[in-house]
Structure 1
Amino acid sequence: MRKVLKADSLFFYFFISLLWMEVIFRVSVMKQSYSFGILISCIFVLSLAFLFFFLCSFFKRKAGFFLSIFLLGLSSFIYASQFIYFKFFRTYYSLYSVSNGGQIVEFWRDIAAFAGKHSILLFLFFAPVLFLIVFGKKMLVFKSCSTVNKLSLACCALFAHGTGIAAVYAGGKAPNSAYDLYFKNSYPQLSVERLGLLTTMRLDLQRLITGWSPDIELAAPRDSKYIPTPAPSDKAKEDPNERETSGKIVEYNTMDIDFTQLAANEKNHQLKEMHQYFEQVQPTAKNEYTGKYKGYNLILITAEGFSPYAIHKGVTPTLYKLVNSGFQFTNFYNPIWGVSTSDGEYVACTGLIPKNGVWSFKQSGKNYLPFVMGNQLQKLDYKTMAFHDHSYTYYGRNISHPNMGYIYKALGNGLDVKKTWPESDLEMMEKTIPEFIHNLPFHTYYMTVSGHMQYSFTGNYIAHKNKNLVQDLPYSEQAKAYIATQVELDRALKYLLDQLEEAGVADKTLIALSPDHYPYGLDMKTINELAGHTVEKNFELFKSTFILYTKGMKPTTVTKPISSLDIIPTISNLLGLEYDSRLLMGQDAFSNASPLVIFLNKSFITDKGKYNAVTNTFITNNGKTAADEYIKRMSAIVEGKFHYSAKILETDYYRKIFSGNQ
């Protein structure tokens, strides 16, 4: 018996080591673990241990020893690096990000400091491989096996893997179940919890190689009573641009696209399905705000790390003014997506949901994007420019932003700002405004950077620069450092407003500003401190501020729940632009369409309440119980938006339906 255990000692060491890393990772990252997910991850760890042992069985002592070190070392690195990445970005990195030259290298100073702070925990991840290096040859057996033993190991690995698959099936097929995450959808945060980190990484690799995308059933037909907006009448089917209601003609934000004819002529099954889907989407109606700001200049801003916590009447007076003197959206949500800043920017600029596992904005750089503001307004002879006060190529913006119809300038390519970390939004405004303010009409897009983490007075140039302005605030150092970074944005906006006023165009310029994501660089205890209470994490954490302002407007409160997905259709309607509301995943905030706010984990908010897709609970606004059929219907609509938004990106769908109009 001892001889058998000695021969199999390497397998047991692999299994115990991988299980050790998985447990340490769960304890350090997840405050609450999904019990059935632990079982599934353990089974897949067992399968991987058999695979490692099988691979080593082909080599004799020395080669087997070094292969064992490599396999365990790689596993340790994956766990440790994902731990660091998650703590920084509140998500997990994908292999796509690694293959595209991960942007995390720009944070090496912060990473080094973080690693030093958590050196004991990082040591625990690498302890198994370090132990193997020091004591492995004395305690473990490294030798090649016979063909029969190799086949046995392969069978054991396959059996363990099959058992893991069976466990995945045993948990049911509900949304966000282990089955759903393994076979149909991609949501790394839940996948790590319910399948394990290494299984999630394996699925990511498989999907990257195969070009996989989420698979769903086509949304229910248009006559379902659970469509979030009224189904069109027969007349609307014939002419989606208008229909008659009680003697009044109702016009819709649509374009002359015959989806029925496109589907009839399409041989490609995927494209045919897309035509059929968009044909049954209810468009949004034009309304009293349609064209209200037709011909206005437009300044669109995605503000790094901006949040309601940045707004202080005395410290950030310009932000306070813009929030309280324009449209006041009291239920605006800014969900975080898989690639944090880049995906947040993608949503705000395109009105589409990012595809998980890739950099959607960079991928879109080869596609035709007719509804982004740059391309829409360029056709109307606007001067269209975009600026970013950090690296020109960061997240592939040198590919995505010119494709949106902009003359794009950033650090390293036409924008000469002082290279600090982070750089100054105020300096960016000072250097760029003269390039467009006298070229009417103009549309300018800004992606800011001054509000970037880490939020401390050491290592963050902007926080240190504005430290004296926040020192008297009754908050912790991290909270004050965060607000200090937003002071720079406030100063930049003050300079912008002054320049618009001086040029005489302030009352003809619409300013729209939204965050890329909530300030995830803050500890939760700091967020709770700034909020003044414990912040609920599935919905409230993403509640934010959307600024929509022009000089002289009457402050208007909008209570309808909306999100960053709704920015492009809302602005398009306000400017009176021709666009097709069926082809965007958000909707005009001023339309009479029922609201639908979508989150990365497939949770959603409607006019009836909030559905938490992780816990499968629906909290109604009136305290009544929501019908299961309603939840299923709305979940299907949400799934459809994720699926077809990804398909728009994958197939360059807009180019196919507008090929004659480019």
Structure 2
Amino acid sequence: MISKMRNIKYLFLLPSIIIYFETVLKVSVYEEVMNEGYIFMCLFSIPAGIAFYLLTSGFKEKTNKILFISILSLLTIYYGGQMLYYKIFSTFASLYFFIGAKKAAQFVFILYDTIGNNLIPLFFIMLPLIAAVILFKKINFIKIPKESIYKVAFSAVVLQASVVFLVASSDNGMLSPSYLYTEVFIIQDSVDKFGLLTTGRLDIKNILKNIDVYADEDIPIKIVESEDITDNDMPDVIEAEEPTGENEIAYGYNKLNIPFDDLIENEHRSSITDMHKYFMNVKPTKKNKYTGMFKDKNLILITAEGFSPYAIDKDITPTLYMMQEDGFKFTDFYTPLWGVSTSDGEYVACTSLLPKEGVWSFYKSAKNYMPFSMGNQLKSVGYNTYAYHNHYYDYYFRNESHPNMGYIYKGLGNGLDVTETWPESDIEMIELSVPEFINNQPFHAYYMTVSGHLQYSFTGNYIAAKNRSLVEHLNYSEHVKAYLACNIELDRAMEILISELEEAGIAEDTLIAISPDHYPYGLTKQELSELAGKEIKSDFEIYKGVFLLWSKGMEPVEINKVSSSLDIIPTISNLMGLDYDSRLLMGRDILSDAEPLVVFEDRSFVTDKIIFEAKTERVTNKEGFNVDSIYINEKINEVKQKFKYSSLVLDNNYYKAVFNK
């Protein structure tokens, strides 16, 4: 009888420990703990804990105790590691992260700093393991009979099935438990709704599903340099419409002559057929007075690490300020944060596709035909195309994704010989790379900078320390000063770049575009507010970004239309007069008359009429608008479709199917 009672006690021990871990995690990273998600988390934790109990009850007592300590150690590492990852990157790590974990080890000093700032939650996460080690001799995990194992296992299966049924039945709201559990994988919302352990299981399911997608086609992943794309690779352009009025200018559409009906008729794969039907019904964007404004000009496209509008200052970063004021000034631009922070942010800005959750989308795209990247578009019309990154060349597998976008790619370790510091210098990258292309017109150069990378301190950041004297006098806290010092490096790099273009006499023949990969999450919300000079309250304010689009001698243009990094590729494609199909991209030309739509990872969105917060389903009407439920539901569906079909484009190598490549 005593033995049976002891077994029952241990039966509930591991579920209780899992619930404890989940609670500590939620308290550490979420503002709200006791919500609907907490209930689902507790329910899912019970069968998971029972499964672990069964693993520690089927062998001799010594083996069972070792298994118990091992499981507890793994859970401690998992929860502690995810908590630290969230504190650094403001999101949780997908298991896919471990593909590149070896490269991530270079940031170990940032991890040390984060550990030092989170000793209290780490202590509470380690507490069960500490207690188990201390009480190791008193723990009695005796072997239980097979009949009992079968009964307990059956009970766990029934309980798991019941919880899944309950979740599947909870279908209220945009981010309903059913939607998050069965249709999409949004890691941060999944952790909030179901807990970290269940999210890990869903993550594995998502990864396995992704592997299945690629199983039918063996495409070599090692890419040295992309194939040339010629004009003949693209369908004909739809000609402009005739003017309908005496003084009216008729603009055609940015739309290619794609024979969707024929493609549908000859396609045997249902997923591709579905995609053809979707894209043929997407409304294309019209050409406009800015179409071809920079046709045949050189293009320099930059994704700037951790850049933000608050880093632009007339006195501190005068070159960036000049570019903002003398170019296209986008006053309502957003840079959402995605699951794989920098890589996903870069992917969105370079492809106008939304990243797929749970995988490294840019890395996966290396297998695909990507005709609308600026490198491939411009290469097809005779441009010399280059890409540079001043950190390790193969980090995030850029050595595979970037050549596939049409670039001759160099980074630290494969031809760009910047001094290896942390972070490396944007100035040095510009000085080393510009001579390679400045005399090879027409050219297109793409840069992914690194000088703006966290951590923002003067002791762990070479660039911040280098420029410390330039910010020491400012009335800001140390982290904010360090952040500005990092962005001074970018500013000086742009000063040198523009000077080189002017000296070569081609500054007026070159368009420069700069946008961030993500907001500077290395600063706290309080520090961001300090930098912005106002209180930043909501996530929408945090994600306010900047898009610099400048060419020497142009007339300044202020654009108040809401937009985001998803819109960069179609906007630049139109400005350069390139033949592209706006229906096949998820962003829209900002300068067109297309209705704006900015989407965020959690399916929140902003239009010219409303701000929709998906988690609370709160709708805020913008001044002068009062929309009805029909409009809101249409936009909710449009957002879901954009995520769905972006993933399908990636999974199915869709552009290859469209253009028969």
TM-score by length of 1: 0.93
Q: State the alpha-carbon separation in 1 of the partners of residues 274 and 15 from structure 2.
A: 45
Look up the match of 2:449.
448
CA contact (8 A) 1:299 1:444 kept: yes
CA contact (8 A) 1:306 1:514 kept: yes
Pairwise CA distance, 1:60 = 1.4
Look up the match of 2:257.
256
Look up the match of 1:576.
577
Look up the match of 1:19.
19
Pairwise CA distance, 1:143 = 1.9
Pairwise CA distance, 1:89 = 0.5
Look up the match of 1:615.
616
Q: State the alpha-carbon separation in 1 of the partners of residues 297 and 258 from structure 2.
A: 28
Pairwise CA distance, 1:333 = 0.7
* 1:7 and 2:16 matched: no
SS in 2 for 1:414: coil
Give the 5 Å matches for 1:370-385: 370-385=371-386
Cα deviation digits, residues 543-602 of structure 1 (max 9, x gap): 111000000011100011111011000000000000000000001111111111111111
Q: Structure 2 vs 1, CA of residues 213 and 575 (structure 1 numbering), >3 Å: closer, same or farther?
A: farther
1:246 to 244, 247, 257: 244
Give the 5 Å matches for 1:188-267: 188-211=187-210, 241-243=239-241, 246-247=244-245, 249-267=250-268
CA contact (8 A) 2:302 2:513 kept: yes
Look up the match of 2:390.
389
Look up the match of 2:110.
110
Pairwise CA distance, 1:173 = 3.9
Look up the match of 1:96.
96
Which segment is superposed worse, 319-328 or 615-624?
615-624
SS in 1 for 2:539: coil
Look up the match of 1:226.
none
Look up the match of 1:648.
649
Pairwise CA distance, 1:538 = 2.7
SS in 2 for 1:8: helix
Look up the match of 2:658.
657
Q: Structure 2 vs 1, CA of residues 4 and 474 (structure 1 numbering), >3 Å: closer, same or farther?
A: same
Cα deviation digits, residues 51-92 of structure 1 (max 9, x gap): 111222211101111111111111111110000000000111
Pairwise CA distance, 1:261 = 1.7
Look up the match of 2:131.
131
Which segment is superposed worse, 292-301 or 160-169?
160-169
Pairwise CA distance, 1:290 = 0.5
The letter for the 1-side match of 2:402 is: H
CA contact (8 A) 1:455 1:481 kept: yes
CA contact (8 A) 1:34 1:194 kept: no
Pairwise CA distance, 1:394 = 0.5
Which segment is superposed worse, 116-125 or 591-600?
116-125
Give the 5 Å matches for 1:314-353: 314-353=315-354
Q: Structure 2 vs 1, CA of residues 176 and 212 (structure 1 numbering), >3 Å: closer, same or farther?
A: farther
SS in 1 for 2:612: strand
Q: Structure 2 vs 1, CA of residues 34 and 256 (structure 1 numbering), >3 Å: closer, same or farther?
A: farther
The letter for the 2-side match of 1:263 is: I
Pairwise CA distance, 1:532 = 2.1
Which segment is superposed worse, 101-110 or 308-317?
101-110
SS in 2 for 1:472: coil
Q: Structure 2 vs 1, CA of residues 397 and 522 (structure 1 numbering), >3 Å: closer, same or farther?
A: same
Structural RMSD (CA)? 1.8
Pairwise CA distance, 1:624 = 5.3
Pairwise CA distance, 1:402 = 0.7
CA contact (8 A) 1:65 1:137 kept: no
Q: Structure 2 vs 1, CA of residues 431 and 624 (structure 1 numbering), >3 Å: closer, same or farther?
A: closer
Pairwise CA distance, 1:186 = 1.4
Look up the match of 1:233.
none
Pairwise CA distance, 1:305 = 0.5
The letter for the 1-side match of 2:385 is: T
Look up the match of 1:227.
none
CA contact (8 A) 1:301 1:513 kept: yes
Look up the match of 2:147.
148
CA contact (8 A) 1:304 1:452 kept: yes
Give the 5 Å matches for 1:440-589: 440-589=441-590
CA contact (8 A) 1:240 1:252 kept: yes
Q: Structure 2 vs 1, CA of residues 504 and 15 (structure 1 numbering), >3 Å: closer, same or farther?
A: same
Look up the match of 2:75.
75
Q: Structure 2 vs 1, CA of residues 624 and 432 (structure 1 numbering), >3 Å: closer, same or farther?
A: closer
* 1:163 and 2:162 matched: yes
The letter for the 1-side match of 2:134 is: V
SS in 2 for 1:156: helix
Pairwise CA distance, 1:254 = 0.9
SS in 2 for 1:198: helix
Which segment is superposed worse, 45-54 or 618-627?
618-627
CA contact (8 A) 2:185 2:202 kept: no
CA contact (8 A) 1:417 1:423 kept: yes
Look up the match of 1:45.
45
Give the 5 Å matches for 1:593-632: 593-622=594-623, 625-632=626-633
Look up the match of 2:87.
87
Q: Structure 2 vs 1, CA of residues 383 and 62 (structure 1 numbering), >3 Å: closer, same or farther?
A: same
Q: State the alpha-carbon separation in 2 of the partners of residues 623 and 104 from structure 1.
A: 48
SS in 2 for 1:423: coil
Look up the match of 2:222.
none
CA contact (8 A) 1:40 1:167 kept: no
The letter for the 1-side match of 2:354 is: I
Q: State the alpha-carbon separation in 1 of the partners of residues 135 and 624 from structure 2.
A: 62
Which segment is superposed worse, 637-646 or 2-11?
2-11
Pairwise CA distance, 1:162 = 2.5
Pairwise CA distance, 1:242 = 4.6
- Structure 1 gap ranges (5+): 215-238
- Structure 2 gap ranges (5+): 214-236
TM-score by length of 2: 0.93
The letter for the 2-side match of 1:454 is: Q
Pairwise CA distance, 1:241 = 4.9
Cα deviation digits, residues 498-533 of structure 1 (max 9, x gap): 000000000000000000000001111101111222
Which segment is superposed worse, 46-55 or 426-435?
46-55
SS in 1 for 2:615: coil
Q: Structure 2 vs 1, CA of residues 356 and 213 (structure 1 numbering), >3 Å: closer, same or farther?
A: farther
CA contact (8 A) 2:87 2:114 kept: no
Look up the match of 2:29.
29
Q: State the alpha-carbon separation in 1 of the partners of residues 12 and 563 from structure 2.
A: 53
CA contact (8 A) 2:609 2:625 kept: no
Look up the match of 2:229.
none
Q: State the alpha-carbon separation in 2 of the partners of residues 145 and 241 from structure 1.
A: 77
How many residues get paired? 636
